[in-house]
Amino acid sequence: MIFLTAVTKRFRSSKGIKNAVNEISFKAKKGEIIGFLGPNGAGKTTTMRLILGYLAPTSGSVTIDGLDPIEKRIEVLKKIGYLPENNPLYVEMKVGEYLRFIGQVKGIEDFSSVVDEVGISDVLNTKIEELSRGFKQRVGLAAALIADPEILILDEPTSGLDPIEQDKIRSLIKKISQNKTIIFSTHILSEAEDVANRLIIIDKGKIVYDGVKPQGRGGAEKLFKRLVKS
């Protein structure tokens, strides 16, 4: 269970002090697929990084199964698979080599089931830099799935992919969602509608909607346009 209580994250920059997220609270349970929506700079990535303990909140509290992700960083990270925004990868490594590295760090030697699930068995001996964007995304997803984490945090998992690849990644997320908590951010409202069973909309660092996805095709888009002014 993920718990965020009145979490604020403040950044200092040359332009002054900015609240990237401002007093946000929500909880996420096992089996939920949460679509995290919001315009650019709304605070989606910051919220995800706070859940991971990659960033520390300025105020408020974050707990993962009762553990503070800053104080119990390693225990918390063992529970989470993460696909960061823009999918950074060690591109000079071969796919198999990269996944073996991630697996060994997570204490797993056999990652063949993930390879089959994500459909990258044909490219295990290919250097990541030689892969198409779609395959790179699958490699990033495979790395997040290694060690079968209870929680998956996916920051724009279909960003920059063609519609066919987007469909494949969406199907994959739905397939792996059983008994997991998944939080994924996206700009594609129909994607959130298709994959998620709950929506959180964030704007200017504040949650403006948290609930079930609206009924009917295009419901998420109407809701988003009504709530997000920026």
Partner 1 sequence: MVTLYKKELKYYLDNPIGYITVVLFSIFVNFLYVKDIFVTGSASMRPFFALLPWLLMIFVPAVTMRILSEEKRSNTIEILLTLPVSETQVVLSKFLAIFTLVALGLVLTIGLPVSLSFLTQIYLPEILVGYLGALLLGAAFIGLSMFFSSQTKNQVVAFLTSVLAIFLLLVISTDFLANVLPKFIQDLAGYFSPVYHLQNFVKGIVDLRSVFYFASLTLMFLFATIIDLEKRN
Cβ–Cβ under 8 Å, residues 185 and 21: no
Q: Which of 21, 24, 77, 176 binds partner 1 (CB under 8 A)?
A: 77
135 binds partner 1 (CB under 8 A): no
106 binds partner 1 (CB under 8 A): yes
Between 6 and 56, CB nearer to partner 1: 56
Tokens 């997570």, located at residue: 106
89 binds partner 1 (CB under 8 A): yes
Q: Which of 2, 34, 62, 143 binds partner 1 (CB under 8 A)?
A: 143
**Contacting range for partner 1; rule: CB under 8 A; set: 70-78, 130-138, 194-202, 220-228:** 70-78
For the CB of residue 109, give the shortest distance to partner 1 in the complex, in Å.
Answer: 11
Q: Which of 61, 105, 148, 225 binds partner 1 (CB under 8 A)?
A: 105
141 binds partner 1 (CB under 8 A): no
Give the binding-site size for partner 1 (rule: CB under 8 A): 23
For the CB of residue 97, give the shortest distance to partner 1 in the complex, in Å.
Answer: 8
52 binds partner 1 (CB under 8 A): yes
DSSP string covering the chain: -EEEEEEEEEEEETTEEEEEEEEEEEEE-TT-EEEEE--TTSSHHHHHHHHHTSS--SEEEEEETTB-TTTTHHHHHHHEEEE-TT----TTSBHHHHHHHHHHHTT-S--HHHHHHHT-GGGTTSBGGGS-HHHHHHHHHHHHHTT--SEEEEESTTTT--HHHHHHHHHHHHHH-TT-EEEEEES-HHHHHHH-SEEEEEETTEEEEEESPPSSTTHHHHHHHHH---
**Contacting range for partner 1; rule: CB under 8 A; set: 21-29, 85-93, 187-195, 198-206:** 85-93
For the CB of residue 230, give the shortest distance to partner 1 in the complex, in Å.
Answer: 25
Beta-carbon-side half-sphere exposure of residue 70 (alpha carbons within 13 Å):
10
Which residues of this chain interact with partner 1, rule CB under 8 A? 52, 54-55, 73-75, 77-78, 80, 82, 84, 86, 88-92, 101-102, 104-106, 143
